[in-house]
């Protein structure tokens, strides 16, 4: 029997066991629908289970390059089990609720961060169930960018999933399914037209996660972050009520330490350019670390690594500065490709480290194109433990709510410097452009009273953030 015959057979069998019904129904989300799928009943029909498994195996699973299969609870769980056995690919199980005791683990089974997981689901409407599973897998450092499903209701799920970087393959679209039933005289033309009209008029709303990066509070995003450094930074931001990163572009170590002594309590992150300091010593680093501990901020070395992996690894671990030993995170260009992310390991001597990847720059005439930005975001997806976020200027650049948008080029007035730097206002970058952590350098450092100015920036930026998450914009 060829593929199309098997599909027809499956559609007819599903119809005959009432896994699909026509009439007037109300869906989970409260909308009326003339067609209703309930695939939970298929566990009572071993022949149908076998047919579904064979088809899913043939179209996707047999060629899938994945380390695990994971069914979306509950209907897809037995199907995932059968596929796991047939393909000899280990399965993972996602809980619906976290255990009430012990670890709050949502994913059962043995796995390692960085492994790939193929998602199995029965019916997709908005795609939100798959996205919940993806989120839980991401939290464990697993990669989930592919899903295979039985039926796509064609109500926006595919688009929602694509927007969240999940590619879906289905056995049936609703249109195809209806066509088969109509062709076999199982439903009338009227019913088929009703379903088609319904599909045209009823698209599921975009799922929460395609819009929520901008509207979610930092506490919530800490929970969604995979990178440990992103988690810590979000938590610090929420605790200190500060989304301000101070860029200490000063060439004297004592001046840096004096400044941080005065302003450290107001910032969540301190950004350094270690190679501009003229009197650098190890003692400076120790004192910087002590300030970071005392005032609870993280340190970002803005090294903008840009070489081949081997050189970057040496620049990161060795030399005078031994950046990996003291910087919680660093910045890196995506220009050299993935080798750079392999060099910047997410864990150095048992301590978590992060990377902000450059996806855009604030200066006029920079050569970064929209394609380059998109490719940088794509490249980061494979390194969920390492990537803390992106240095970028626009909210559209990425959607993952567990990642941080670090935006430089900010002053209270929009201006420029005489070497191409472009400044936007706090309102513009937080409310319009999606900035999560805002980098301010000269706006504070060269002010007459940095200790007064830092409070102004902190309060202004935090107010913008509160307005943003209140949902009263957009």
Question: Hey, which residues are catalytic here?
Answer: 304
Selected binder of ligand 5IU within 264, 384, 401, 441 (CB under 6 A): 441
Q: Please tell me the distance from the alpha carbon of residue 118 to that of residue 99, in angstroms, as a whole number.
A: 24
Q: Please tell me the distance from the alpha carbon of residue 21 to that of residue 24, in angstroms, as a whole number.
A: 9
Q: Which is nearer to ligand 5IU, 209 or 424 (CB)?
A: 424
Give me the least distance between CB of 429 and ligand 5IU, in Å please. Answer: 12
Site string for ligand 5IU, 291-330 (x = CB under 6 A): -----------x----------------------------
Binding segment for ligand 5IU (CB under 6 A), chosen from 195-203, 231-239, 335-343, 440-448, is 440-448
Selected binder of ligand 5IU within 106, 361, 377, 454 (CB under 6 A): 361
Give me the least distance between CB of 422 and ligand 5IU, in Å please. Answer: 9
Is 267 near ligand 5IU (CB under 6 A)? no
Is 414 near ligand 5IU (CB under 6 A)? no
Is 439 near ligand 5IU (CB under 6 A)? yes
CB 259 within 8 A of CB 450: yes
Binding segment for ligand 5IU (CB under 6 A), chosen from 64-72, 119-127, 213-221, 357-365, is 357-365
Look-up: residue for tokens 């506490």? 219
Is 443 near ligand 5IU (CB under 6 A)? yes
Is 440 near ligand 5IU (CB under 6 A)? yes
Taking Cα atoms as reference points, which of 56, 70, 85 lies closest to residue 119? 70
Q: Which is nearer to ligand 5IU, 133 or 376 (CB)?
A: 376
Is 264 near ligand 5IU (CB under 6 A)? no
Taking Cα atoms as reference points, which of 334, 324, 268, 263 lies closest to residue 304? 334
Is 450 near ligand 5IU (CB under 6 A)? no
- Quote the longest CA-to-CA distance of the chain: 85
Is 408 near ligand 5IU (CB under 6 A)? yes
Selected binder of ligand 5IU within 442, 449, 452, 474 (CB under 6 A): 442
Selected binder of ligand 5IU within 156, 264, 389, 409 (CB under 6 A): 409
Is 362 near ligand 5IU (CB under 6 A)? yes
Which residue lies nearest ligand 5IU, judged by its C-beta?
441
Q: Which is nearer to ligand 5IU, 15 or 457 (CB)?
A: 457
- Contacts of ligand 5IU in 127-146 (CB under 6 A): none
User: What is each CA distance from 455 to 85, 378, 446, 451, in whole angstroms?
Assistant: 60, 37, 14, 7
CB 358 within 8 A of CB 380: no
Say how many residues touch ligand 5IU, by CB under 6 A. 16
The bridge status of strand 351-352 relative to strand 347-348 is: antiparallel
Give me the least distance between CB of 282 and ligand 5IU, in Å please. Answer: 23
Taking Cα atoms as reference points, which of 160, 161, 158, 159 lies closest to residue 172? 158
Both structure tokens of 374: 């998109």
The kind and range of the H/E element at 336 are none
Binding segment for ligand 5IU (CB under 6 A), chosen from 95-103, 114-122, 149-157, 437-445, is 437-445
Q: Please tell me the distance from the alpha carbon of residue 142 to that of residue 137, in angstroms, as a whole number.
A: 5
Q: Please tell me the distance from the alpha carbon of residue 90 to that of residue 109, in angstroms, as a whole number.
A: 9
Across 151-171, b (16+ Cβ under 10 Å) vs e yields: bbbbbbbbbbbebbbbebebb
Give me the least distance between CB of 436 and ligand 5IU, in Å please. Answer: 15
Give me the least distance between CB of 276 and ligand 5IU, in Å please. Answer: 9
Q: Which is nearer to ligand 5IU, 269 or 386 (CB)?
A: 269
- Contacts of ligand 5IU in 216-255 (CB under 6 A): 247, 249
What percent of the chain is helix, strand and coil (3-state, nearest 5)?
45, 20, 35
Q: Please tell me the distance from the alpha carbon of residue 196 to that of residue 180, in angstroms, as a whole number.
A: 14
Look-up: residue for tokens 């001046």? 255
Q: Which is nearer to ligand 5IU, 149 or 361 (CB)?
A: 361
CA 43 to chain CA mean position, Å: 34
Give me the least distance between CB of 212 and ligand 5IU, in Å please. Answer: 25
Taking Cα atoms as reference points, which of 375, 326, 383 lies closest to residue 356? 383
Is 71 near ligand 5IU (CB under 6 A)? no
Binding segment for ligand 5IU (CB under 6 A), chosen from 77-85, 114-122, 162-170, 436-444, is 436-444
Q: Please tell me the distance from the alpha carbon of residue 214 to that of residue 160, in angstroms, as a whole number.
A: 17
Give me the least distance between CB of 473 and ligand 5IU, in Å please. Answer: 24
Taking Cα atoms as reference points, which of 395, 470, 457, 469 lies closest to residue 425? 457
Q: DSSP 3-state assignment of 169? A: strand
Q: Which is nearer to ligand 5IU, 378 or 442 (CB)?
A: 442
73 secondary structure, DSSP code: T
Selected binder of ligand 5IU within 196, 421, 425, 460 (CB under 6 A): 421
72 secondary structure, DSSP code: P
Chain residues that interact with ligand 5IU, rule: CB under 6 A: 247, 249, 302, 358, 361-363, 391, 408-409, 421, 439-443
């Amino acid at each position: 029997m060829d593929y199309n015959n098997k599909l027809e057979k499956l559609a007819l069998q599903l119809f005959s066991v009432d896994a699909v019904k026509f009439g007037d129904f109300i869906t989970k989300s409260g909308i009326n629908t003339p067609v209703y799928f309930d695939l939970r009943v298929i566990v009572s029909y071993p022949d149908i289970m076998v047919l579904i498994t064979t088809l899913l195996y043939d179209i996707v699973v047999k060629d899938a390059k994945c380390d695990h299969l994971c069914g979306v609870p509950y209907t897809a769980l037995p199907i995932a089990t059968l596929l796991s056995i047939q393909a000899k690919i280990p399965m993972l199980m996602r809980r619906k609720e976290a255990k009430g005791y012990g670890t709050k683990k949502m994913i059962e089974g043995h796995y390692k961060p960085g492994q790939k997981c193929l998602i199995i689901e029965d019916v997709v409407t908005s795609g939100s169930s798959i996205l919940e599973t993806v989120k839980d897998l991401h939290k464990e450092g697993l990669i989930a960018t592919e899903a295979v499903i039985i039926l796509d209701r064609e109500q926006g799920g595919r688009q929602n999933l694509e927007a969240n970087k999940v590619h879906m393959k289905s056995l049936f679209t609703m249109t195809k399914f209806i066509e088969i039933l109509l062709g076999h005289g199982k439903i009338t033309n009227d019913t088929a037209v009703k379903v088609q009209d319904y599909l045209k008029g009823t698209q599921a709303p975009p799922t929460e996660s395609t819009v929520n990066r901008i509207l979610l509070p930092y506490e919530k995003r800490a929970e969604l972050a995979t990178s440990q450094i992103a988690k810590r930074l979000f938590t610090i931001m929420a605790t200190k009520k500060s989304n301000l990163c101070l860029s200490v572009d000063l060439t004297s170590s004592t001046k840096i330490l004096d400044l941080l002594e005065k302003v450290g309590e107001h910032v969540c992150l301190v950004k350094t350019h270690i190679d501009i300091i003229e009197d650098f010593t190890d003692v400076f680093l120790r004192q910087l670390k002590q300030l970071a501990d005392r005032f609870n901020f993280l340190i970002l070395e803005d090294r903008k690594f840009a070489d081949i992996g081997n050189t970057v690894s040496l620049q990161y671990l060795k030399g005078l500065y031994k950046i990996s030993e003291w910087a919680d995170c660093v910045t890196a260009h995506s220009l050299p490709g993935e080798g750079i992310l392999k060099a910047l390991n997410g864990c150095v001597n048992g301590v978590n480290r992060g990377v902000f990847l450059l996806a855009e720059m604030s200066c006029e005439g920079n050569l970064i194109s929209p394609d380059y930005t998109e490719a940088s975001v794509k490249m980061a997806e494979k390194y969920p433990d390492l990537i803390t976020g992106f240095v970028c200027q626009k909210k559209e650049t990425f959607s993952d709510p567990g990642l941080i948008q670090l935006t430089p080029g900010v002053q209270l007035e929009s201006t420029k410097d005489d070497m191409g730097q472009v400044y936007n206002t706090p309102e513009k970058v937080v409310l319009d452009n999606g900035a999560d952590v805002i980098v301010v350098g000269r706006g504070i450092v060269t002010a007459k009273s940095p200790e007064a100015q830092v409070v102004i920036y902190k309060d202004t930026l935090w107010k913008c953030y509160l307005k943003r998450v209140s949902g009263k914009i957009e």
